[in-house]
């Protein structure tokens, strides 16, 4: 599979995954590993590169909570024409792992990327270099690095899920609401603002909640709400 074709494939996967008409549920613990693309490599390097996706799949298979669909997808897309039907069928995966191999002078460069279909873009990329004798060592490094990053992402997703469950289950606990709101600031400002407002409803005497909510409202360009929250927070401070 060529580098250009792989780029089209990834673009198609992300495009179809984000189309509202499909409305598919993407499991947060699902990964697909695609075959690595080859660019101006010699035949020996190409043969060695074929085992990279297999090695990654083997390493990822040790994560019991992970849903892997890479083996069948890799086999399907290798040396096969791309089509929208095939792309749509494989959209149940949240993370897509792909890579490319190319040669510059006598050095092989292996680039590996991880895409988040839900977020619609690349979230991790690393390039490795070496000669043909070092490809298997590089393969092992690639597998470990992908494994470590995917495991980290799954742990973060699980922590976020648990925090959300706690916040939804205990709506009268202002601290729990605010803690979850803080976690969401970088990922989802609208949801973060919502949970800071829930914290305010649970405890209207904590000026910190008004300040944080006001800052987020301002970043969301909701000036009226930001001013209202600032005014209410100032009133709380004056009463103290």
Residue 225 CA: distances (Å) to CA of 113, 222, 231, 239: 40, 6, 10, 21
- Token pair of 142 as six digits: 């690639």
- Token pair of 192 as six digits: 């973060």
pLDDT of the residue at 120: 76
pLDDT of the residue at 171: 84
- Token pair of 191 as six digits: 């949801």
CA angle, 166 as apex, 164 and 171 as ends, to 5°? Answer: 100
Of the candidates 167, 154, 76, 171, the residue with the CA atom closest to the CA atom of residue 116? 154
Q: What is the spatial distance between Cα 112 and Cα 35, in angstroms, rounded to a whole number? A: 11
How does 197-213 read in b/e, with b if 16+ C-beta sit within 10 Å? bbbbebeeebbebbbbb
Of the candidates 93, 68, 110, the residue with the CA atom closest to the CA atom of residue 9? 93
pLDDT of the residue at 22: 42
- Cβ atoms of 132 and 45 closer than 8 Å: yes
Q: What is the spatial distance between Cα 187 and Cα 67, in angstroms, rounded to a whole number? A: 24
pLDDT of the residue at 48: 65
Sole residue written with tokens 């959209």: 91
pLDDT of the residue at 108: 73
pTM: 0.63
- Helix intervals (H) in 62-219: 70-77, 84-89, 135-169, 174-184, 189-202, 207-219
- Cβ atoms of 199 and 206 closer than 8 Å: yes
DSSP secondary structure string, 18-44? H-TTT-PPPEEEEEEEPPPEEES--HH
pLDDT of the residue at 82: 45
Q: What is the spatial distance between Cα 117 and Cα 91, in angstroms, rounded to a whole number? A: 8
What string of pLDDT tens digits covers the 240 residues of the chain?
555 555 545 555 554 444 444 445 567 788 888 877 777 666 666 666 778 888 898 899 888 888 886 555 555 555 544 433 344 445 567 888 888 877 766 667 888 999 887 777 888 999 998 776 777 888 899 999 999 999 988 888 887 888 888 888 888 899 999 988 988 887 789 999 999 999 999 999 999 999 999 999 999 999 999 999 999 999 999 988
pLDDT of the residue at 121: 80
- Cβ atoms of 213 and 229 closer than 8 Å: yes
pLDDT of the residue at 78: 57
């Amino acid at each position: 599979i060529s580098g250009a074709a792989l780029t089209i494939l990834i673009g198609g996967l992300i495009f179809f995954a984000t189309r509202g008409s499909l409305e598919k549920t993407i499991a947060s613990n699902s990964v697909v590993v695609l075959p690595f693309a080859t660019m101006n490599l010699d035949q020996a390097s190409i043969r060695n590169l074929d085992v990279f996706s297999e090695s990654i799949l083997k390493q990822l298979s040790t994560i019991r909570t992970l849903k892997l669909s890479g083996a069948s997808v890799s086999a399907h897309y290798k040396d096969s024409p791309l089509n929208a039907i095939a792309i749509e069928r494989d959209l149940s995966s949240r993370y897509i792992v792909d890579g490319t191999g190319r040669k510059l002078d006598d050095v092989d460069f292996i680039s590996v990327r991880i895409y988040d279909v839900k977020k619609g873009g690349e979230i991790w990329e690393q390039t490795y270099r070496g000669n043909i004798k070092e490809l298997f060592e590089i393969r092992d490094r690639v597998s470990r690095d992908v494994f470590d990053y995917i495991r980290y992402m799954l742990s973060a997703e699980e922590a976020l899920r648990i925090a959300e469950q706690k916040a939804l289950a205990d709506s009268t606990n202002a601290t729990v609401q605010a803690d979850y709101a803080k976690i969401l600031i970088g990922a989802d400002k609208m949801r973060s603002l919502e949970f800071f407002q829930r914290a305010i409803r649970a405890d209207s005497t904590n000026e910190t909640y008004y300040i944080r909510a006001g800052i987020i409202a301002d970043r969301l360009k909701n000036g009226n709400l930001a001013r209202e929250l600032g005014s209410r927070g100032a009133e709380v401070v004056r009463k103290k």
